[in-house]
Amino acid sequence: MTMQPTYVPDLLCTPDAVPEGTPAVLSADGELSYRELWDQIAAVARQLRSAGVEPGDHVALYLPRSAGYVSALIAVMTIGAVAVPMDPEFPSDRLLQVVAVSEPRVILCDADNHLAALGPAPWLALDTRCRQGDVESLAAATWRERPAGEQTAMILFTSGSTGRPKGVRLHHAGLCNRLEWGHRHYRLADDDRVLHKASHAFDAAIHEIFSPLIAGGTLVIAPPGLQFDSLGIVRLIQEAEVTTAHFVPSVLRYVVDEAELAYCTSLRRVFCGGEALDMTLVRRFRDLLPAKLYNGYGPTETSVNATYWDCSEPFDGDIAPVGRPIDNVVCRILDEDLTAVPAGETGELWISGIAVGGGYLDDDALTAERFRPDPFACDGTLMYRTGDRIRQAEAGYLEFRGRIDDQVKVRGVRVEPEEVGTVLRHHPKVHDAAVVGVPDGSDGVRLVAYVAARRAHSPVVGGLSRIELPNGLAVATPSPDEALFLYRQIFEEDEYARFGLRIGPDAVIVDVGANIGLFSLWAARQADGVRVVAVEPNPDTLPYLQANLELNAVTADVVPMAVTDRSGTATLTSFPQLSYLSGLGTDREEAAADLVESHFRSTAAATGDTGTVDEAELAQLRRDTERRLAATLHQVATTDLSSIFDRFALDRVDLLKINTEGAELDVLRGLRPEHWHRVGQVCLEVERASAVGPEIRKILTNAGFSLHEIDDWNVDTAADVTYVYATREPTETGAGTAVPAASDARPGRAC
């Protein structure tokens, strides 16, 4: 049947065409009669014209699924403007792209519901209050002089392989053809209630919204978010006595699983589309309900649906056919030379006829590639290249056989995996990405992304696992818990920014007992040009230190030796899962376990437990500690501190940080007297009551340092550990600018 070109609003029932008070829209906000709906349409049309909107202008609709959206959509079309639906539930980046490409004259929104990321934009708060003269003004609209085939009704954005969504221009004529055909073929009437649950950014929303309003029936609007709740959908169908609904097969599968679906006796017809429809699902649906089930097919570029299939027709295949063309649509199955393939063979589907849209907004090259003159027609009709492989059965119906590219449908939404890959590759932490569609185990498709991170952000580097710290710094670590423990002390509690400790531009730092390098990373971030000499003898820890310094671009030299008062070798006890407790000597397990327990008791006190500890928790802690303190003994090379000064020609050291778990005195003894004047500051820990404590203080005092001490608050008082901060007035070779100070009342534990 050939139809005369017309405009979508002309198909809709007006208040005079239905009994007074007939409900047009039911939603969570209440009920709108046809007269109230058209009053709202007239009000929005007046508002748009007052804002300077002319025929052909783009109007973005940043509105939730609601009666207001329906009124706004019809109003935009009625004044000859072009609707650009924007779903507020979509990611802001995609919405920003839609606005950038479509360049709307205005963006209609709910009051105070702007997309903040857009910044200044032509926002217009929706006003549906009808004023005197609005209805008469709407009736006097004169924009209908342009041929319908050339008039764009709306622009829908679909997935694009470049990472930029494609704006598809849909004409009034193509939409009217689909809507008028559906009205005749499916015989919707004024007692029908049609469920609207699709995102209005998808083409399925078009026939959901308009089909009941053409028939004089009622549109039932599902609240935002309900489309993801299968039981909620079933109950809404029951409560609102819905007669017509649309589902993509992957959603219908969940709906059919709901036992309450059997009580949805008001349903007369259900439409499927957007994905392959499995015949097993068809049979399950028909066993539950007497409602008719239809399968539809059609890319957005062909005005929603190009073919249809009545699922009650005999068919013994596994996947339901996509059916036969609707009125005024021609489906051509062609080979690579655009030659028709015989029935029974598979080719690429090209769609011709009035349904074909107007190409892609602001993309002439892609439009020329996908929309071509139909060589089989003599009137200049365009045909659209779908990219779908289709077989025409001997009986005339069409069967879907896959894609010629990697495009997939995910829950009915067309997705170009390359678009997802392109977006992923734009992420600053991603080096490369590939995205593919794979079966999800229930006849649907899910996307799987394979990502190669940039080396600086890779979760695994050289076989070493990395974590991201709260400040965004990524570090390799054998123990995430330990890394976070040390991070809090160094980066959050500022234990090295006390008593005037200074790290200025071009400072030189010697980190003795560098562990995995958190202190070195912290120091390098304090000023420009910081140089670090990181000393770490533990072969279990050394790879993590080297990786962290390299990946975070720290200017550093690594010394894989232990520092004592002489060169030679020594035994090192390594605890790979508690590496900061590793140190020279043997039989260190008991002391390390005591320190862990002391940390635990101190934390209990700090959190308000007044020092009391649950004995069950303590017993579990001891078991965990015993497991994590599985020790490995290594023979390591030793050197003295002065040898390091000589090796790296250190004429000054702005900060000497020492954490060697009991070997601090030997480190200090290894610095010859002539080198002490080169040291600007020292930070180390010491047991207050140990025999070495007085000698450490004496060495530092004799070298001209002022000493400040703080008890380590991470352990209870029984551990008797203190931090010593040794400072002196900066000289020309001194420490430079002070580190931003933390409260001296909050000490920390060194790394």
pLDDT in tens, 415-461: 777 777 777 877 888 877 878 777 776 667 788 887 877 776 777 77
Q: Which of 81, 111, 138 is the last residue of a domain?
A: 138
CA distances from 266 to 59, 197, 223, 235, 263 (A): 37, 17, 20, 12, 8
pTM above 0.75, yes or no: no
What is the rounded radius of gyration, in angstroms, for the C-alpha atoms of the chain?
A: 36
Inside any domain, residue 121: yes
Confidence (pLDDT) at 465: 83
Confidence (pLDDT) at 420: 78
Q: What percent of the chain has pLDDT over 90?
A: 59
Inside any domain, residue 205: no
Inside any domain, residue 712: yes
Inside any domain, residue 128: yes
pLDDT in tens, 146-193: 556 679 999 999 876 566 789 999 999 999 999 999 999 999 999 999
- Taking residues 512-538, report their average pLDDT: 94
Question: What CATH number does the domain containing 515 carry?
Answer: 3.40.50.150
**613: exposed, middle or buried (C-beta count within 10 Å: 0-12, 13-18, 19+)?**
middle
Inside any domain, residue 221: no
* Other residues' Cβ atoms within 10 Å of the Cβ of residue 322: 26
Inside any domain, residue 85: yes
Domain of residue 82 covers 34-138
Question: What CATH number does the domain containing 121 carry?
Answer: 3.40.50.980
Inside any domain, residue 694: yes
Nearest to 88 by CA among 183, 268, 224: 224
Q: Residue 501 in contact with residue 750, Cβ under 8 Å?
A: no
pLDDT in tens, 40-86: 999 999 999 999 999 999 999 999 999 999 999 999 999 999 999 99
pLDDT in tens, 538-584: 999 999 999 999 888 899 999 999 999 999 999 988 877 777 777 78
Q: Which of 112, 138, 164 is the last residue of a domain?
A: 138
Domain count, the chain: 2
626: confidence class by pLDDT, cuts 50, 70, 90? low
As a whole number of angstroms, the distance between CA 559 and CA 535 comes to 5
Confidence (pLDDT) at 442: 65
Name the average pLDDT for the chain. Answer: 85
Q: Which of 98, 123, 138 is the last residue of a domain?
A: 138
Tokens of 394: 């001997």
Inside any domain, residue 369: no
